Structure 1
Amino acid sequence: MITRLTIKNYTLIEDIQVNMEGGLTIITGETGAGKSILLGALSLLLGKRADLNSAKNPDKKCVIEAEFSIAEYDLEPLFVAHDMDFDAHTILRREILPGGKSRAFVNDSPVTLQQLQAIGPYLIDIHSQHETLSLNSETFQLEMIDAVANTSAIVAQYQQERQRYLQASTALETLRERQAASLKEADYNTFLLNELQEARLEGVDQEALEATYEKLNNSESITEGLSRTVQLFSQEPAGILENAKEARKELARLQGFASEYQEAWERIHSVIIELEDLEETLVQLAEEIESDPQALYDTNAQLQRIHQLQQKHAVGTVAELVAIQKELSEAQHETETLAEKIENAVQEETEWKSKATRTATELGEKRRAAIPALQEELIALLGELGLPNAQFDFHLERSETFREIGMDHLELRFSANKGSRLGPLKKVASGGELSRIMMAIKAILSRYKHMPTLIFDEIDTGVSGEIAQQMANLMQRMSGEMQLLSITHLPQIAAKGTNHLKVFKEETATTTITQMKRLTKEERIAEIAEMIGGKQLSDSAIAHAKELLN
């Protein structure tokens, strides 16, 4: 339950701090005084996205903080599951900084909005005025049955299995699409792969191949050039080598006269050795050159094939062609194995579908088993709330669709009057009847959900007189099991509170602010009397207020 609420710099509120107690706390105030601002602040605290205009003074930080006593609600596993520190005395804080940036904390540790949203519903259930319309929602109606049937674990199991089934179905569909696309391109890809494989590209050195082609293609010119070069080396009497040897002889006669002549002789001797070696190499090269038309043809054909493939695949190297060949080979292999993958995917989809179906069937059975007791209790409570002839029919029908809430379709049929035909709740129930039905449902759910705090925002709309009194009695009973806060305009309900807070506006010279205060016994009498008879407090209104309070 909430033990303390602090709101600073939020909308019309400058600074409100209020200690909260168990039981039934009544919140009253004139229309427009700011009661809805309190709910807005609590909604922010529970993870609602912040409005940039939330701060009263945009230059200051907006802070909303609530302290909770939750020792007896077994919420530690929930906190641990969402990676938050648990404390029996837990503090939630939301800050909106100047500029609109928002921060959230649980027990002074930073958390995300998703974490706040995960624990919020287990701390406070806020029933706003528009939530009565959710009574017409099939999801809400099934959740109501599930709370009574205690099916939270099986619902979670079904949703997990359903998710796995949907994932398996998506994966199967993707594989089938890939197979269709693969088969569509298979023939052409096989042609391309065969073409690359026939070219035998692995280990091919394109530069070396082109060099071989140039040799073969110019063999005559190369042979002629090498022969003439060899002749220039050894031609008598004017060959390069012969002339060098004559020069060496001349220097041999001079080498004894001075060291520089000796050095000159050594140098030309080295040149002659190099020239003799070069001559031998040129002779060998000339002998190796042969005119081989077949080799020239084969080399040219291989190069032409490589060039054509490079042009076809828009690449410039043999390595890139080999990479494309590998990709095509892998694609061909995948096409061949897709059938097996699809078979496995079909099996997985079937397994998860079967599991989800079994769990959904069990869920439906538990729901059907819980409906009679829920229906009986609802009718009994509505009898107390002035609908003694109320009738319900929970028409639960099995479908073959895997919905998020199960495989059941629910239509809640209702009649408020004896002898009237039952019809869909959303079509036949009036606003006042919907308020009373929601009140009865909340009373039932409060026992099953073990909620720490429940807040009613004018759930009594559309009722008055004896019905209001019965609503007040029901709220009083509910507050014995939980902390209940009720925003109300009805004196019968206001009088049942163990605590009474009043929200009011206060005007200063420059601004209007919303304030809240705890009413004393005398102030409660005046407040309830005003709710009965208006601003001019009559003796009869005061007497009636005292009677209600007593």
Structure 2
Amino acid sequence: MVLSYLHMQNFALIDNLSLELFPGMNVFTGETGAGKSILIGAINLILGERASSEQIRSGSEQALIEAVFIVDDKYDPLHTIMDEYGLTISEELIISREISRSGRNTCRVNGRIVPLGTLKELGNVLVDLHGQHSHQSLLKPEKHFLLLDEYGGDELLTEKKRLAELFANWERVRQKLKSLGISREERARQLELLRYQSDEINKAELNPGEEETLSQRLLLLNNMEKLLSMANRAYAEIYGGEAAASSSVFDRITAVKEEMSSLLKIDDKLEPFISILEEIASTLAELGHDLYNYLDNLTFFPEEVEEIESRLEVYRRLKKKYGMTVEEVLSFAEKCSEEIAELESSEEAALLLEKEMNNLWQEIEQCASILTEKRKQTAGILTKMVEGVLGELGMENAQFSVKFAEREVASRHGKEEIEFLFSANPGEPLKPLARIISAGEMARVMLALKSILAEQDHIPTLIFDEIDSGIGGKTIQKVAEKMSRLSKNHQVICVTHSPQLAGAADHQFYIFKEITGGRTTTCVSYLQGEKRVREIARMLNGGVTSEITRKHAEELLKMYKIAKEQEAWRQEQE
């Protein structure tokens, strides 16, 4: 995957410029002040950096930057971001950005308007820009984790994968435990409450009809005197008794019936009346008998009222707590029993899940400890490698280190946070890469890391600005060799004043200024053949071309051509 095309319109000193870029190593050379930094500024805008109206060409209201990347179907980080934003992707990825003097910015990806943040996210996986710029993935500690682990090889990555799988299993069990709804403590509290409520209702032995029966009995007992008085008076009036002051209704009816019976021979029409009186007398006798039995049953014990009131209080108390009716209270007790059964079952399941979680966490701790040791071993090897390459790049006294900061709790990534540290001079403390001030130092540190981690770092396009700052001789020769090798795995774009870097490149562009119609314009020309020889000759002699510098330029190009052929042959043999 490469940056294949860059178009700039009304940007800084550029009027309308299109560049075709290539795989391998691309260098931009030219006189100081020709506008090489403009190219870097344009790419920065494509990567989502802040824009300024001062970047718009004088006399224009807006500027346009467009970049085309050739897409690799296997580059998952890009596809992940595109899918996240619902963006379509084909063989090309086209990113454009318009900036206007009004302050309005329009960002597009494959023709669709997107937020500036989308360009930043895409830029993070498409381009690494090294120099006096913030867009560098290696400045981010989270990237250090990935690079160190991949540099550690299959053994370390296998352990890392195992840790991730253990953590995923632990998380799965934790979610299962969470799905049970409550913690062990809360489950115990609920069980205690439910058992208390269930026992309270069950011990009461409620009966749906008992409360009404007891209420009626209590009403009767509370009105016993009235009932006795009424029943005794009714019995005396209807049936009489030895203590009756006058004859009873039964006696009077019987007397009338007997008198009529004695006159029946005189008038047989009295027969129906006698029959009726006999029925009345019989009914009164039966009524009297029933009243007698009723009176006989109107008995109670003094403690009975207290017992009934106590029992009814149980009903009132339970209905107040658990339901409006006895049926609702009994239904509540049934639900309690069901919930108790569920909680007891879930408690057993929770205990098993908690045990499984504890066992998994022990495995996680062990695996994380093994991973830490492997990372420290890898960090030691990487440190020596980086310091060795930095020495080759003219930084013999530089120090590099991998800082391990232990986490309080292990994560799916391990038990530590990792960050690369650097110091350029003896006696100076090691600092995070983001605090390197010198652009030349920054570029060389990044080149050292990139050259060592070339196969592990998957960002396709690397841009180096001012990597040759303050170095020369054998050091710049080493820089050129490292960048040439790096271009086998990445597209490399370099802005340089170094003839060695220009000679090592696969493609060279010349940046220059033209004055047309009283206006200065930055232009770019692709150099081949004699034009390239002359430009490298100019660079060799500080701007002056001679036959000697021209021959040196030819020899330099020839030397790098042979070196590349030998490197290609060596790789084929491997």
- TM-score, normalisation: structure 1: 0.57
Alpha-carbon distance between aligned partners in 1 of 2:476 and 2:110, rounded to the nearest angstrom:
40
| Secondary structure of 2:394's aligned partner | coil
Match of 1:343 in 2: 351
Offset at residue 189 of structure 1 (A): 4.2
Q: Distance in 1 between matches of 2:358 and 2:95?
A: 46
Take 1:133 and 1:92, find their aligned partners in 2: how far apart are those partners?
A: 21
What is the CA–CA distance in structure 2 between the aligned matches of 1:178 and 1:15, rounded to whole Å?
67
Q: 1:28-62, CA deviations, whole angstroms, 9 ceiling, x for partnerless residues?
A: 77487363342342459xxxxx99x9xx9xxx9x9
Q: CA deviation digits over 1:354-412, x for unaligned, max 9?
A: 43244334434543554565344323321221023445565779888524532357686
- Cα distance in 2 for partners of 1:380, 1:197 equals 83
Offset of residue 441 of structure 1: 0.4
2:195 to 190, 193, 211: 190
Per-residue deviation, 1:469: 5.7
Mark the structure with the bigger radius of gyration.
2
Match status 1:387 vs 2:392:
no
Structure 1 partner of 2:382: 374
Question: Residues 371 and 347 (structure 1 numbering): CA distance in 2 closer, same or farther, change over 3 Å?
Answer: same
1:22 and 2:31 matched: no
| Structure 2 CA distance for aligned equivalents of residues 440 and 17 of structure 1 | 32
Q: Distance in 2 between matches of 1:64 and 1:298?
A: 96
Flag the 1:190–1:27 CA change in 2: closer, same or farther, 3 A. Answer: farther
Q: Secondary structure at the match of 1:66?
A: strand
Runs of 5+ consecutive residues of structure 1 not aligned to the other structure: 45-49, 225-285, 534-538
> Judging changes above 3 Å, is the alpha-carbon distance between structure 1 residues 135 and 479 closer, same or farther for their aligned structure 2 residues?
closer
Percentage of identical aligned residues: 18
Q: 2:320 pairs with 307, 311, 314, which one? A: 311
- Quickly say closer, same or farther: Cα 1:102–1:411, change in 2 above 3 A: closer
CA contact (8 A) 2:3 2:68 kept: yes
Contact kept in structure 1, 2:46 and 2:65, CA below 8 Å? no
Determine if contact 1:501/1:516 at 8 Å carries over to the other structure: no
Q: How many residues align?
A: 450
Of 144, 147, 159, 1:144 maps to 147
Residue 162 of structure 1: aligned partner: 167
* Contact 1:132/1:434, CA 8 A, preserved across alignment: no
* 3-state secondary structure, aligned to 1:363: helix
- Picking from 32, 36, 40, the partner of 2:41 is 36
Determine the C-alpha separation between the residues in 1 that align with 2:339 and 2:106.
50
- Partner SS, residue 190 of structure 1: helix
SS at match of 2:183: helix
Which residue number corresponds to residue 424 of structure 1? 430
In 1, the alpha carbon distance for the partners of 2:502 and 2:329 equals: 85
Per the alignment, do residues 188 and 2 of structure 1 end up closer, same or farther by CA in structure 2, a change over 3 Å counting? closer
Matched with 2:268 is none
1:132–1:435 Cα contact (<8 Å) kept: no
Q: Which amino acid aligns with 1:350?
A: N
| 1:65-214 aligned within 5 A | 66-70=68-72, 75=75, 90-92=91-93, 124-127=127-130, 129=132, 139-150=142-153, 151-165=156-170, 178-184=183-189, 187-198=192-203, 204=208
Aligned to 2:272: none
- The 5 Å alignment of 1:118-517 reads 124-127=127-130, 129=132, 139-150=142-153, 151-165=156-170, 178-184=183-189, 187-198=192-203, 204=208, 305-313=314-322, 316=324, 321-322=329-330, 324-333=332-341, 336=344, 340-371=348-379, 373-390=381-398, 392=400, 401-407=409-415, 420=426, 424-426=430-432, 431=438, 432-449=440-457, 451=458, 453-456=460-463, 458=465, 460=467, 463-466=470-473, 467=475, 470-486=478-494, 488=495, 490-492=497-499, 493=501, 496=505, 498-500=507-509
* Inter-CA distance 94–520: structure 2 relative to 1 (3 Å threshold): closer
User: How far apart in 1 are the matches of 2:131 and 2:331?
Assistant: 65
TM-superposed CA distance for 1:442, in Å, is 0.8
- For the 8 Å contact 1:154–1:359, the answer to whether it is kept is yes
Give, as a single letter, the amino acid of the residue that structure 1 aligns with 2:465.
E
Q: Counterpart of 2:460 in structure 1: which amino acid?
A: T
Q: Amino acid of the residue matched to residue 25 of structure 2? A: L
- Residue 563 of structure 2 corresponds to none
Matched residue SS, 2:543: helix
CA contact (8 A) 1:104 1:113 kept: no
Partner of residue 566, structure 2: none
Give the RMSD, CA atoms, in angstroms.
6.4
Letter paired with 1:146: D
- Give TM-score, length-normalised by structure 2: 0.55
Please say if residues 124 and 454 of structure 1, whose CA atoms lie closer than 8 Å, have aligned partners that are also in contact.
Answer: yes
1: CA distance, partners of 2:534 / 2:390? 29
Q: Which runs of 5+ in 2 are unaligned?
A: 57-61, 231-289, 558-574
Distance 2:76 2:140 in 1: 31
Match of residue 2 from structure 1: 2
Distance 2:351 2:316 in 1: 42
2:525 aligned to which of 499, 519, 524: 519
